[in-house]
Structure 1
């Protein structure tokens, strides 16, 4: 069966279409560590597939691109495992966006031109079967589809066109005495875990084929995970295919390589963060980063330079001096160019003397103080060099500073410093039966409004003539670097204060409040049972009408650093449990831990939080002033300072937009 969009299922009014996203066929891959070939099979047994992400509003992407919001062309409305000709099949209903840029894609889908679909996924456990003289088979027995994509060409027309990524850290189970079971063909029906369990334990070989039944809702994540232990423990764990420390070393090298490539190409850290989170291989990530850098360069307006006389030499000299200063500041990070070698080892005052002489300014017989004064005040380009070095070190430090809030919040830009108003649209009113007279009752959509604004923060750094005379390199390298880190720290302070201050929302209630149904009545410890209660509370959140159940699913477990180890141990269950009661459900293990020291209280109970994905529902929004993304630098000849003044400026603001995607448990005091 082809894995493809199905034009005959198009509903034009709702812009929906049904797709087959997997048939579970084998795809040949190569182990990135050993180089050996293997056949990968994604088991579609309902006990092995976690559909919570797809049924939680997973995106429909344009060929697996996930750099910008424009890459999202639709959403997965519903996903399920169906039964067709005796085999399991992954099916879904997707809805396309009505944006203008998506319209050509939608029309090609309707016309049957675009038909291929690919699934992006993460595997938590493989069941490995090896027989002498054959290629090993890796069957994913605990995996989760993450997104669906419309793609032009796929690797396997019958099995689906899957995202190309290296295997992530997961359990590897060697299968002993594999069971060869055949399944009776039957008309296509949707399979629940209970039905799948019956087929495994009580086969009815002589029973007549049942008549087609009406489709039933897809299994819930809890039902799917409840069936998993029996299926997984049939395989006997043996020695792993490769050592855990080797996997960790490879993973660290991959992450470090991605961030290093992003820094060298001057690509935003958010792009690198996304590649790391998606598990993209280093080779593929470098290709993405090169494309991102090229797109960024293409967006910058360029003009031809008019050059006269020795202007080229002046620019070369300026670049050489700047490179020599940066190399002196951090040799391992900044490469010494050939032109910069003649400036290597010179003091700042010696560089100023050489630069002035090269510009035709007479400096013979001048003292150090006079050289410093002329370098800073005679129209020389030397102040621009100092400002360039300062800007570079400050910006690098700003981009390298850790910011844990970016995963749980949505980024935007604003045009000015006026108050930003964000609306929470309510749900459409419930439809009511029309009476015999044919009268339709009017309804309304509720809304709520949150307001915040971008504020300006800044500091001035002065490069004085004393800096040149004293050869104080730290004054315009180390000090600006600290200012860059301080700017990033300020952003984190602003965002995380939303959690700790718990300020009032537009309705007059605190962000975390019993009236918002997002605050546990009593603080409890961080464990599976209490996480399940918190998750249930989020799923029962209602719309602004107080009736519509939103079924919100958390994506992040946010904890203070004092709970980081406990959270990671709770979610990283790598041992196959022997009792059902010991199972950590996949919907909980799929949570991503975000640890932040600003959430640690001075004493007493230690809280923890659940946060939904900002792409699924509004949570926290942070904003920069348009055109001023991050910390920016301005320079001028000093008036209050006898030298160059460098001003670092940050225009930034943040606010909680909706409380329904956030949940707080006050926690308990740690022993």
Structure 2
């Protein structure tokens, strides 16, 4: 899903160089060393510091936030980070991840906006404890946008997503500037451009620096998507070779550049070898593009690939553009077409969708796109190959086992994440489709940590006291005694290994994860019925079902015995106040299911003439739930439980998340992806007054 307006395939004019603030007046752009051709760099510097440079689009074909996190961590214990920023923005989720990594780092972050900080570039800048902007630098903020096709419900859901994304952007701006939400909302809506002075005035920057004499130019054609870009930014967007040179400064003499050691000259043989290797790599990478297309499409682009390989000036990016143009030259628009929205990871999303379709996980709307998905008929091994090629990772000469192994272990490959996402969907299907009875009658709760908590039953509140005219209201007093409940973690590990990928064994992504999802819910069911049948001790020192609790009945679930059990629940009190609890469920072993249903569903009393006028007093007074776990304890014992939501037995989940979690570890130690399914839950009886037990005799 493309949620950032600045997810641009921007080609930055990096070779023209960037003039850092310390290389001020008097130096021409061509005197500055060219930047690296990657869109960012991280390097350690002296005095426990580090410098990070981001001079391009965020995300896209560049580095992932995961690799950014890995390299940031590799810096070790640094206390100062200098971030140099010149970016039109990019992928919103990659940008938020980088912002959070910098914001949460213990080092002090100083941000230098060396030219442009637009869209997600401006959000990343907000991570700085100190933000420094030259007078001629620019910052831009705007609302996120994307493209979606579908029915009205899908459009509304997409609009809600954009609103949530906007909320995360506003949070970053608000934390830095202190501006109120109304002001920020209007600025985002207006696509606000700010010079260095304006950014400092509004709180988006802390210090104003002297204007830069040369900055890296941006040659991205998509920058024209910005609707209100100011005219003074034109000089920043034009290549420097076509821009008029700034007048020589009059007052400040040019600082002397530090002498640099002369580079070691290459021999003619070394130059030839290097050029030959670069050309071979270029041809191999272009040839690997064919793996992204299957069947007749691969044949259709063979001539284009050959043409690009023979043209030494054709880069892999140019080859991609030519392939897409060749495939689309004979296409015609069709009415009612579907607009695809994505997060920029086209290959990864397509591979994931193809896998979901093969496993039967795709929705009807998604399945309609199968014919347009070039990966729909590929095997798992071919998916691994495509994932590597998409990231520009060379695989020439590798056998299938090596390719799959590299797909699991390479830092830039998202193959393992794709498999985990698909497996997690299978886990959730197993959880959702599992038929467990405890969900029908227990109370759902939430705990924020693993410490023991005490639940004070709301049934323990006394009646309200009279407040005489002019008298003060008094605080209610609740007993400090409460039932203890605590979370525990339950889980297992299964592996998605290379052998399963080579064998195209889809069961490892469907059957096993679904079984784990069913097992997770069954584990909660075991805990619930273990509490019910074990008759645990409550906080008053007495068992859950105890004569002193007035919640023990007798006999089989006949009309008379059910009515007596109901009376015990109806007459429960809190002090002198009647609680008037009505039964909601009859819990029986499967051995009593048929007879109990007959008793409760019948219009008349068993044995009486249907025309005698004797009505069944317990007809439909509660729902019958038959549970085989109760048979394991006793084929005769049965229970009454209050309606759902009352204080009976609580099932609490960590932060209220009841679905299982899935964690992944990939690498050589696991020869694939080790996937851990876990669930954090706690089960405890809350109050004896919402339940009645009969031993059945």
TM-score, structure 2 as length reference: 0.47
Identify the structure with the greater strand proportion: 1
Identify the structure with the greater helix proportion: 2
TM-score, structure 1 as length reference: 0.49
Larger CA Rg, structure 1 vs 2: 2
